[in-house]
Amino acid sequence: MTDKTDLLPCPFCGGEKIVDVYIRDGREVKCTSCGGSVHAFQPDASAQARLKWNTRNTKQFVEQACEAVDEVFNNGNYVSVNRFDIKRAIRDKFK
Ligand SMILES: [Zn+2]
C-alpha cells in the first residue's frame, strides 16, 4: 500500500478508504467499502491505476447501475425486491 492522499473517494459508494495494492504484474486501486476497483499493469502500474481511478467514468457507472436495477425489477418478482437485492445487483454488475 502506498500514499493514498491523491485518490478520490469511491465513485460507487462514496467510500474514502481507497487502497493501492500489489497484484501480479501490476497494481490495483480499490475501495475497501464496496470493492470497486481498477487495475493497471507494468510499466508504471501505480500511476496508471491511480489515474484510472481518479478519472473513471461516473456517468457510465450511473447508467450501468440503473441497468442493474432494471434487471432486478425485470426478473418478475419485484413485489419482494428490497434494498439488499438492489445493492447486490449493482455490486454484481461491477465485479
Ligand atoms: Zn466503494
Same domain, 41 and 84: no
Same domain, 51 and 15: yes
pLDDT, tens only, 36-78: 999 999 999 999 999 999 988 777 778 888 998 888 888 766 6
Q: What is the pTM of this model?
A: 0.57
Ligand 1 center to 73 CA (angstroms): 23
Helical residues (DSSP H) of the chain, grouped into ranges: 45-54, 58-74, 83-93
Asked whether residue 20 falls in the same domain as residue 45, the answer is yes
How many domains is the chain partitioned into structurally?
A: 2
Q: Are residues 50 and 24 in the same domain?
A: yes
Residue 24's pLDDT band (cuts 50, 70, 90): very high
Show the cell assigned to 91.
455490486
CA of 94 to the centre of ligand 1 (A): 11
Whether residue 2 has pLDDT greater than 80: no
Do 31 and 65 belong to one domain?
no
Residue 7: exposure state from Cβ atoms within 10 A (0-12, 13-18, ≥19): buried
Span from the CA of 33 to the centroid of ligand 1 (angstroms) = 5
Domain hosting 26: range is 1-56
**Whether residue 5 is found in the same domain as residue 36:** yes
Q: Within 13 Å of residue 1, how many CA atoms lie on the same side as its CB?
A: 9
